[in-house]
Amino acid sequence: MIAIAKITAKGQTTIPQAVREMLHIKPGDAIAWEVNRDGTASVRRVDALDGQYLRALEGTLAEWSGAEDEAAYRDL
């Protein structure tokens, strides 16, 4: 399925109804964008478990936030 939507001057868009229905997206839901190296992107609904997992993971990442780590992983 292909659905087309325009981007507003503020960078906003409306998710077409058919896409919302297929992804079971409703007001208040979170979505995640993944941008691939080939310039394509995908979007998916983030369910509550995903959100909980990401919040739990977030607290463990601080140890890798130094300048040395930025330099080491810059080209990945």
pLDDT digits (tens, 9 = 90+) for 15-58: 999 999 999 999 988 888 899 999 999 998 888 777 777 777 77
Domain over 17-73 is classified CATH 2.10.260: yes
Residue 63's alpha-carbon distances to 11, 47, 54, 71, in angstroms, are 33, 27, 16, 15
* pLDDT band, residue 10 (cuts 50/70/90): very high
Q: Which residues of 36-66 are buried (b: 16+ CB within 10 A; e: fewer)?
A: eeeeeeeeeeeeeeeeeeeeeeeeeeeeeee
Spell out the domain ranges in the chain: 17-73
